Amino acid sequence: MKFVCMGGSARRALTFAKLLAREFGYDDREVLAYGDTERYSLYKVGPVISVSHGIGIPSLSILLNEMTKLLISAKAQNPVYIRMGTSGGIGVEPGTVVLTTESISPKLTPVFEQTVMGETRYYPTLLTQNLNDEIYQLRNQLPVTMGKTFSTNSFYEEQMRSDGLFNPSFSNSEKLEFLHKLYEMGVRNIEMESLALSAFCLQAEIPVAVACVTLLDRLKGDQVLASKEELLDYSNRSHQLILSYIKSKIENGAM
């Protein structure tokens, strides 16, 4: 088994690779990126690939195609994909790790739409429930919850932020009403990649989980107000959770 662990930022890909190296007893100063880092940063530590995917679905989908072709050429058996990212929470404490059960589109459907040659195709966006269950069991003291994830194509407009450049096209009460509607639908966080990731992995028959930590509660505001130290602590939480999962699989002989 190979674990492909991904997140938006190149720095976080390196941080996770170094964490793995220390855990596996290697010198973390020897963790170096493979190839060019202009677009993505990729590290391999034992059976784990730690790679950045950039922001949003277009960037992620290039990585998914190329990474998966690479793994097939390398004859990697039964890979598992895990995204460890950041997100805005809905009705959960900042710092909570949300394991996505299903990704919800900007149109409020559990569907990823892709338009090819002028025709739109539709793909389901379920995550792998037994993988979520396995990860959830390893949460220990970490604040972890399962829920749906609202997955958007922009950080400002589609995430109903009032602090972008343009005046919002909605009132504050309309925004709150919509956020409450999402909460009632079972949505617990908002990010920008799980819609395409889940659809891709379902098509490719690859088990997949998304474990995103929430940086703020959108029911309380739009701006991330956590300090640098808090943000570091939050992002370490998804790393710790996924590290526990990888260790448990390795200890049980799954490689």
Handedness of CA 152, 122, 64, 4 (dihedral sign): positive
Max CA distance (Å), the chain: 55
Residue 188: how many CB atoms within 10 A of its CB? 24
Among 79, 88, 110, 207, binds ligand URA (CB under 6 A): 88
Q: Residue 219 CB, nearest distance to ligand URA (Å)?
A: 12
Handedness of CA 115, 120, 124, 125 (dihedral sign): positive
Which residues, 129 to 168, sit near ligand R2B by CB under 6 A? 155
191 binds ligand R2B (CB under 6 A): yes
**For ligand URA, what does the binding mask look like between residues 187 and 226, x meaning CB under 6 A?**
---xxx----------------------x-----------
- If you write DSSP's letter for every residue of 118-180 in order, what string do you get? TEEEEEE-B--HHHHHHHHHT-TTS-EEEEEEEE-S-SSTTTT-SSSSSPPSS-HHHHHHHHH
Say which entry of ligand R2B, ligand URA, none residue 7 contacts (CB below 5 to 8 A, set by partner kind): none
Among 3, 5, 6, 8, binds ligand R2B (CB under 6 A): 8
Pick the piece of the chain touching ligand R2B (CB under 6 A) from 164-172, 191-199, 203-211, 235-243.
191-199
Say which entry of ligand R2B, ligand URA, none residue 190 contacts (CB below 5 to 8 A, set by partner kind): ligand URA
Q: What share of the chain is helix, strand, coil (3-state, %, to 5)?
A: 35, 25, 40
Closest CA to 209 of 57, 83, 86, 112: 83
Pick the piece of the chain touching ligand URA (CB under 6 A) from 67-75, 82-90, 101-109, 179-187.
82-90
Tokens coding 216: 């703020």
CB nearer to ligand R2B: pick between 31 and 84: 84
CB nearer to ligand R2B: pick between 102 and 191: 191
Pick the piece of the chain touching ligand URA (CB under 6 A) from 29-37, 80-88, 175-183, 198-206.
80-88
CB nearer to ligand URA: pick between 103 and 159: 159
Q: Residue 215 CB, nearest distance to ligand R2B (Å)?
A: 8
The helix or strand, by DSSP H or E, that contains position 201, with its residue range, turns out to be helix 194-204
**For ligand R2B, what does the binding mask look like between residues 35 and 74, x meaning CB under 6 A?**
--------------------x-------------------
Strand, coil or helix: 115: strand
Report the alpha-carbon distance of residue 208 to residue 222 in Å, rounded: 29
- If you write DSSP's letter for every residue of 51-99 in order, what string do you get? EE--SSHHHHHHHHHHHHHHHHHTT--S-EEEEEEEEEESSS-TTPEEE
| Interacting residues toward ligand R2B by CB under 6 A | 8, 55, 85-87, 155, 191-193
| Interacting residues toward ligand URA by CB under 6 A | 86-88, 155, 159, 190-192, 215
